[in-house]
Structure 1
């Protein structure tokens, strides 16, 4: 059973999550720990990305990198329908390494938050079909062949990277990444960054697109998502991930992902 408007399937053996959605929901700014590649099937949306504001229409491919801050809102107030494949970073890293085996530089991120290209759309459709029926050997082979083809489209003519922040903000980010459940404060992060609190907030926001507190919340939310997927009771997952209680976790879960932790915990989606 699925929450109205969303269908979720986790294929742990393939390192992939499938999300199919039909919703008029507006999503808050958030991050994922996976690479995401998908397609708008109906309607249109506007979203923030690591490369600024973008708009996607029916037929367009959409993509995001791990840790890339984004949101999403329907255009015209109407529902839009889309489907996404979320890949574990290790799987995409292996594909990138394979693509660079000819001596070319190894890519590290997807370049296009929105892409309208017929060949890329065909490649995504083929990959989606292959992943949706992973028990078939021919389909698995098709997926292995199609993924690098699709990635090549999403890597062409890569635009410049966003302006990097200072080393201090990077140190603060690393501190959060190392242990998101630690009782970190802005004062402690600023001390470790050797910046004033104001300087840290400004530099950190430039680096990640989020304030230190908002980024810490995102990292805890990703941890909670892992724990829920692993079968931990929701209240225990909330406490372990550093949330005040289950309702606190659930509120942010729905706000960022569009579905409840209870739905995500249900087997056999």
Structure 2
């Protein structure tokens, strides 16, 4: 399976609760993150990923997870590529379900980036099947999600970067305030109270990526929200701060493995 055989589809988003993405690729995905909790299954081949929970490897038949804001990438193991499916759950939707399971909890995360439990794999496979067959019915998600979450184990966690120096957090906030604005490293360094070189190193150490990579991530997330809301691709690219639609397209595929057009058609 080479790059010529890469396939990607965004299957459904039932009532805005869950986005199902199915990928078959030998492509290496660049470091990125999601606003949602991701839960899926490695269906064929194997996949190695650097994540906030260390280097992990998922084999066919194993459950894979990712938490909101968790920096990760993805590389095939060997030369045959891999095939996997992921469901990205809206954070508020999952929080509501988890509050019914554990009323005292306010925040949570998936504990294991790769889960070998056969029962969990069966539940995830059932969820994926329901989303394909009953893509418009949110009940398919709602009735299966509680057992999945309870079985995979979640816990309260501090937000990423809590221990970062105050100056670096200010630099991050400057990017977040307006990701479409052209920011210079000197401006971020002044906000952090460090040299430009020190700012890049401290930012990457605290948040898992450089200031420029983080700026691109914020623009991509903005573009995703605009596309899901129905904004035409060219308009979404401009509004999110990209030079043009092709620039957004290239970065989108490099990080997510599917095109902005696939998301727009979902």
TM class by shorter-chain length?
0.7 to 0.9
Residue 87 (structure 2) aligns with:
85
**1:112, 1:158 within 8 Å by CA — same for their partners in 2?**
no
Alignment of 1:1-269 (within 5 A): 5-101=7-103, 103=104, 105-132=105-132, 133-134=134-135, 140=139, 143-155=141-153, 164-266=163-265, 269=266
Task: Give the TM-score, by structure 2 length.
Answer: 0.87
Shift, 1:93, TM fit? 1.8
Shift, 1:12, TM fit? 4.9
Shift, 1:161, TM fit? 9.2
| The 10-residue stretch of structure 1 (147-156 or 249-258) with the greater mean CA deviation from structure 2 | 147-156
**1:51, 1:162 within 8 Å by CA — same for their partners in 2?**
no
Unaligned runs of 5+ in 1: none
**1:172, 1:189 within 8 Å by CA — same for their partners in 2?**
yes
**1:49, 1:68 within 8 Å by CA — same for their partners in 2?**
yes
Task: Give the TM-score, by structure 1 length.
Answer: 0.86
Q: 1:239 to 1:61 in 2, by over 3 A?
A: same
Shift, 1:182, TM fit? 2.4
Instruction: Flag the structure with more relative contact order, 1 or 2, with Cα contacts below 8 A and sequence separation at least 6.
Output: 2
Shift, 1:70, TM fit? 0.9
Q: Matched residue pairs, number? A: 260
Shift, 1:22, TM fit? 1.7
Distance, in Å, in 2 between the alignment partners of 1:157 and 1:229 is 30
Distance, in Å, in 1 between the alignment partners of 2:70 and 2:32 is 8
Shift, 1:241, TM fit? 0.8
Distance, in Å, in 1 between the alignment partners of 2:91 and 2:14 is 13
**1:168, 1:200 within 8 Å by CA — same for their partners in 2?**
no
Distance, in Å, in 1 between the alignment partners of 2:57 and 2:129 is 25
**2:14, 2:135 within 8 Å by CA — same for their partners in 1?**
no
Unaligned runs of 5+ in 2: none
SS at match of 1:182: coil
Distance, in Å, in 1 between the alignment partners of 2:46 and 2:188 is 39
Distance, in Å, in 1 between the alignment partners of 2:193 and 2:129 is 50
SS at match of 2:19: strand
**1:234, 1:246 within 8 Å by CA — same for their partners in 2?**
yes
